[in-house]
Amino acid sequence: DIYELKNIFDYSELIYDGDIKVYNEISNNSEYLNYFKNGLNLYRRGKIRCPSVKMNEYCNEFNEYANNYNNYEKKLPYLSCREKFLSSLLKKDTTSNGESLRGDGTNEDTLDTVFHTLLKKDEIDEKIDLNKFYKLLNTYNGTHIPNICDSLNDKLMIKKDYICKLFGRVENIFKKWDDIIKVYNKLDPKESCSYLNYWIYGKLGGVDSTPCDIDNFYFMWYDYYIDISRNNTKNKCYIDKYYGFNTDELRNKKKMFDFLVYYNSMKDKFKETKNDSKKDYCPYIKGIFELYKLMERENDTNSYTEELKLFRNKFSNAELNYLEEICPDMCLHFVFNKKLKTLCPFEEFSSSELVKEKVKPCGNLVSSKVPGRTHKNNEEGYNFSSLPSATVYKKLNGEVITDYYYSICE
Q: What is the mean pLDDT of residues 371-393?
A: 54
Q: Is the pLDDT of residue 408 over 80?
A: no
pLDDT at 365: 45
User: Of 20-34, 73-87, 253-267, 382-396, which one has max mean pLDDT?
Assistant: 253-267
**47-84 tens-digit pLDDT:** 777 766 667 888 888 887 776 655 554 433 334 566 66
**Identity of the amino acid at 392:** V
Region label for 208, one of left (φ > 0), alpha (ψ between -120 and 50) or beta (otherwise): beta
Q: How far apart are CA 63 and CA 76, in angstroms?
A: 17
Q: What is the pTM of this model?
A: 0.67
Among the residue ranges 26-30, 98-102, 150-154, 247-251, the one predicted with the least confidence is 98-102
pLDDT at 203 over 60: yes
pLDDT, tens only, 337-348? 988 888 887 765
CA angle (121, 118, 326) in 5-degree steps: 110
**Which one-letter amino acid corresponds to residue 334?**
F
pLDDT digits (tens, 9 = 90+) for 226-283: 777 666 666 678 776 776 788 888 999 999 999 999 999 999 888 876 667 778 899 9
Phi-psi region of 29 (alpha: psi -120 to 50; beta: other; left: phi over 0): beta
Report the greatest alpha carbon distance in the chain: 90
> Which is more confident, 394 or 69?
394
Percentage of residues in the chain with pLDDT exceeding 70? 66
Burial of 392 (0-12, 13-18, 19+ CB in 10 A): middle
